[in-house]
Amino acid sequence: MNKLKNIRARLDQFKSLSEKQKFQEFQFCLLTPQSNAQRCWQAVEEISKLPTLEHKKVLDILSKKTRFHHTKTKRILESEKIWKEIKPLLDAKDALTLRNILAKKVNGYGLKEAAHFLRNIGLSNNKIAILDRHILKNLHELNLIPNAKIKSQKNYLEIEQIFISFADRMRISADELDLHWWSQENGEIFK
C-alpha cells in the first residue's frame, strides 16, 4: 500500500501546480504522442530555460527527444498563444466537457492528450481516462475489452466508461489506477 500512498501524493502534487508548471504540462502533452514521456519532460524542461521560443532552438531540442519533431516544434511555438485562449476555460467544473473542448480546440490534442493534460493539472476529477497502451493492455488482459486498440472516438468513450467502472468496482480512483498500471509497466510513478 506504500505505492498507493505515493500515487496519491503525486496526484495531490498535480493539484497544486503553479501557473508556469501548468503551462509546462500543457506543452508536455503536446509532445507525448508516440514519444517517450520522460524524454518529452526533459524537452519541456530545456525549452522552459530558453529566453524566447525560437524555431531553431526548439527544433534542436525536440529532434533529440521526440518523434515528429518538426510538427511538434510548430505546436510548441504556438503554445503560448493557445495557452492564453484555453487558460480561462480551465475554471470549468465539468472535466468531461472541458476535455472535449480541449480535444477540439488544441492542435495536437485528442481525447487522450486532453485527458492527460487535465489529469496532470489536477482537473480530471476521475471522470475521464487517458487511454494509453498500458490501460488498453490491462483492460484487454482482464477480458474487459476485445482488443487493445481504439477504433473511433465513440469506441474511446465506450472504453473510457469501462475503465472508470472497473476502477470503481476495484474501489480505486481512475487516476490512481492509471498511475498504478503505468508504474507497473515503467517502474516509476511519473505523469
Question: CB–CB of 50/60 below 8 Å?
Answer: no
The set of cell numbers assigned to 127 is: 471522470
Distance, in Å, from the CA atom of 159 to the CA atom of 107, rounded to the nearest integer, reads 23
| All residues at 6 or more sequence positions from 48 whose CB lies less than 8 Å from its CB, including other chains | 20, 24
Count of residues making up the chain? 191
Q: Is 132 a catalytic residue?
A: yes
Residue 32: how many CB atoms within 10 A of its CB? 24
Cell 468531461 belongs to residue? 96
Of the residues 127, 132, 175, 178, only one is catalytic, namely 132
Distance, in Å, from the CA atom of 109 to the CA atom of 86, rounded to the nearest integer, reads 12
Of the residues 22, 65, 72, 112, only one is catalytic, namely 112
Q: Is 112 a catalytic residue?
A: yes
Residues recognised as catalytic: 112, 132
